[in-house]
């Protein structure tokens, strides 16, 4: 089997996956630091968790072998679900109390 097809490699290596994950993580960081809406910040956190998961699975496939990396990714997904449930409950409670979820306006821990 030829290793390239008009210059396109037949197999994808580890590096392209890491590049994709790094770019997604970068967008997550930019999202977290630009958004003022609490739910928007949580969307950025989800982006970063997904980038970390892609790294886990890529390293498990290409470097480590076995399923340990995939088990870590499953734990990350589980904790992301718990985090999303708790954080959105807090967001709903803040919205009921302040009528807004802009984090600049909600700067006090208690009145």
Partner 1 sequence: MDNPTGLAQLPLKTLLFGIISLVVIGSAAAVTFSRSLVTSAFALLGTLAGAAALYVLLSADFLAATQVIVYIGGILVLFLFAVMLTNRIDDVNVSNASMSLFAAAPIGLIVGWMGLHVALSNAFTILPVRDTNPTAIKIGDALLDTHLLPFEFVSVVLLAAMIGAVVIARREVRPSAGARVAAQPETAAKKPEVQS
Q: Is 98 near partner 1 (CB under 8 A)?
A: no
Nearer to partner 1 among residue 73 and residue 107 (C-beta): 73
Size, binding site for partner 1 by CB under 8 A: 83
Residue 84 in the binding site for partner 1 (CB under 8 A) = yes
Least separation in angstroms between CB 33 and partner 1: 4
Q: Does 97 bind partner 1 (CB under 8 A)?
A: yes
Neighbours of 96 (CB within 10 A): 8
Q: What is the DSSP letter of 5?
A: E
**Minimum distance, C-beta of residue 107 to partner 1, in the bound complex (Å):** 16
Q: Do residues 27 and 54 lie in contact, with contact meaning Cβ atoms separated by under 8 Å? A: no
Q: Compose the 19-58 pattern: x for residues touching partner 1 by CB under 8 A, - for all others.
A: xxxxxxxxxxxxx-xxxxx-xx-xxx-xx--x--xx--xx
Q: Residue 18: enclosing H or E segment and its boundaries? A: helix 14-34
The reply on whether position 95 binds partner 1 by CB under 8 A is yes
Q: Which own/partner contact pairs does 22-26 have at CB distance under 8 Å and 24+ positions apart?
A: 22/51, 24/48, 24/50, 24/51, 24/54, 25/51, 25/52
């Amino acid at each position: 089997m030829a290793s390239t097809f008009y210059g396109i490699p037949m197999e994808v290596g580890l590096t392209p996956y890491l590049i994709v994950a790094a770019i997604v993580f970068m967008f997550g960081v930019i999202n977290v630091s630009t958004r003022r809406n609490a739910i928007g910040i949580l969307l950025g956190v989800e982006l970063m968790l997904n980038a970390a998961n892609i790294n886990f699975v890529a390293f498990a496939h290409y470097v480590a072998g076995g399923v340990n990396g995939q088990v870590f990714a499953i734990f990350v997904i589980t904790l992301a679900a718990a985090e999303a449930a708790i954080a959105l409950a807090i967001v709903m409670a803040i919205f009921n109390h302040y009528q807004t979820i802009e984090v600049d306006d909600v700067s006090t821990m208690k009145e």
